[in-house]
Amino acid sequence: MSVEMSKLTILGGCGSVGGTAARTLANGDYFDEMVLADYRYDEVAKLAEELGPKVSAAKVDANDPESIKSVVSGSDVVLNCVGPFYKFGPKILSAVIDAGVNYVDVCDDLDPTLIMLDMDSKAKEAGVSALVGMGSSPGVANVMVKFIADSALDQLEVADLYHIHGGEAVEGPAVVKHRIHSMEIEIPAYLDGKLETMRLLDDKYKALSGECEFREFAVYPVYPYPHPETITIPRYIPGVKRVTNLGIVAPREYYELIMQVVHLGLTTAEPLEVEGNMVNPLEFSVAFLLKKREELIKKAEVKSAFGCLKVVMKGKKDGKDETFNFYMFSSEKGMGEGTGIPAAMGAIMMGRGHIQEKGVFPPEAAVNPVDFIKLLPDAIKGMGMGEGLPIAIEHIDSEGKVTTMDIPV
């Protein structure tokens, strides 16, 4: 009797996020075959060889739908880690749906998320399950909001999401362009039961900005982000009145420098003539910011990568006010791990059939929170991050008593 084999293809397989996901998955018995696909073939082939015999490499052109379809053909699951998602997300998802393969990504850009959610009918017709935004925020944040809404409250009313990361050894141009893009577009926030939008540094933006105390770290300023949770959580968790998303990248001087560069209009892609040479302001600004990043990290004495996700959830239980604070933190890992490990877990859940829905959906619509939490220890251990879980949930009851909530692992 033949045994059915499982195959995963990771697009963007040698990037910070894709590489982390690949390492997480290679250390466990999750898929029989893994293909790491990237435009940088020499780099991805080196990583594939390092990860063992069941891992192979392929070259893919994310701008070419036929190239994408060819690479993912025969896969059970595709994990898409190619950024920036405002450029590549919808076109890659469309090609994967055409190939009839189930899909997971880490998209945290608002505008492509909305475009991809509109592909729901196309995915359903193709019999494809497509989970979008399965990183940290969005991703873990959505799952934990769903967990508290389902298990601890009669009615979730508020979900305020906060995130910080910084100190990564390398930050690529695509990451900076993604951040610039997120500052150039309208930023949504769900306030008093309705969607509102704001622009970088306008009055609404300044009013919503504030400070956040991140467990294990310190108090940092946080600013509105156009992450998709502010759109998707109200869609899938009825009755919620407020959903916000605020964050920062450390050191704060670096993030605030990017804000000022964008605010001054120095990120246009339209070339300018400078002393007889054509200069692309966006490309210049990205190069300038990356150079300044090195200086500011040294000045701020950021010694290693770190990250923290905090979600403050408030609501009613038996008529009383209840608050839950969720934390996911690391003092040694940054964006790659914070995003790549949840992405790998999403791929595992898709491959194991824990996600049965067809169509395109965010994590809170299809990921079972308890299944996700129970999978986390193995994923963390597989990355060599020890036995303990880097998560915690605080419960603050109506009388202000603070306790630590048990996590169902």
CATH of the domain at 75: 3.40.50.720
Statement to judge: residues 18 and 123 lie in one domain: yes
> What is the end-to-end Cα distance of the chain in Å, rounded?
35
| Radius of gyration for the alpha carbons in the chain, expressed in angstroms and rounded | 21
Alpha-carbon distance of 229 to 132, in angstroms, equals 11
State residue 335's pLDDT score. Answer: 67
Statement to judge: residues 195 and 128 lie in one domain: no
Q: Is 409 within a domain?
A: no
Statement to judge: residues 302 and 343 lie in one domain: no
> Is pLDDT of 71 > 50?
yes
pLDDT digits (tens, 9 = 90+) for 322-353: 999 999 987 666 667 889 999 999 999 999 99
Statement to judge: residues 225 and 251 lie in one domain: yes
Better-scored residue on pLDDT, 185 or 383: 185
Average confidence (pLDDT) over 112-123: 98
> Is pLDDT of 151 > 80?
yes
pLDDT digits (tens, 9 = 90+) for 256-284: 999 999 999 999 999 999 999 999 999 99
Q: Is 293 within a domain?
A: yes
pLDDT digits (tens, 9 = 90+) for 37-69: 999 999 999 999 999 999 999 999 999 999 999
Distances (CA, A) of 288 to 83, 173, 251: 20, 11, 16
State residue 378's pLDDT score. Answer: 77
CATH of the domain at 165: 3.30.360.10
State residue 332's pLDDT score. Answer: 65
Statement to judge: residues 25 and 165 lie in one domain: no
State residue 46's pLDDT score. Answer: 97
Statement to judge: residues 24 and 116 lie in one domain: yes
In 3D space, the residue among 242, 211, 215 whose CA is nearest the CA of residue 229 turns out to be 242
Structure confidence at residue 3 as a pLDDT band (50, 70, 90) = very low
> Is pLDDT of 300 > 90?
no
Q: Is 2 within a domain?
A: no
Range of the domain at 59: 7-135+335-382
State residue 255's pLDDT score. Answer: 97
Q: Which of 317-326, 371-380, 397-406 has the lowest mean pLDDT?
A: 371-380
Which pTM does this prediction carry? 0.93
Distances (CA, A) of 72 to 46, 80, 128: 20, 11, 13
Q: What percent of the chain has pLDDT over 70?
A: 95
* Size of the chain in residues: 409
Q: Is 242 within a domain?
A: yes
Q: Is 346 within a domain?
A: yes
Statement to judge: residues 270 and 367 lie in one domain: no
Structure confidence at residue 216 as a pLDDT band (50, 70, 90) = low
Statement to judge: residues 39 and 162 lie in one domain: no
Tell me which H or E stretch contains 304: none
Q: Is 156 within a domain?
A: yes
State residue 379's pLDDT score. Answer: 76
Statement to judge: residues 378 and 394 lie in one domain: no
Q: Is 1 within a domain?
A: no
State residue 100's pLDDT score. Answer: 98
State residue 4's pLDDT score. Answer: 62
Q: Is 339 within a domain?
A: yes
Alpha-carbon distance of 280 to 176, in angstroms, equals 15
> Is pLDDT of 387 > 70?
no
Alpha-carbon distance of 104 to 151, in angstroms, equals 26
Could you tell me the two tokens for 144?
Answer: 């934990």
Statement to judge: residues 164 and 76 lie in one domain: no
Statement to judge: residues 146 and 170 lie in one domain: yes
State residue 382's pLDDT score. Answer: 57
Alpha-carbon distance of 175 to 179, in angstroms, equals 6
pLDDT digits (tens, 9 = 90+) for 227-248: 999 999 999 999 999 999 999 9
Statement to judge: residues 167 and 221 lie in one domain: yes
Domain count along the chain: 2
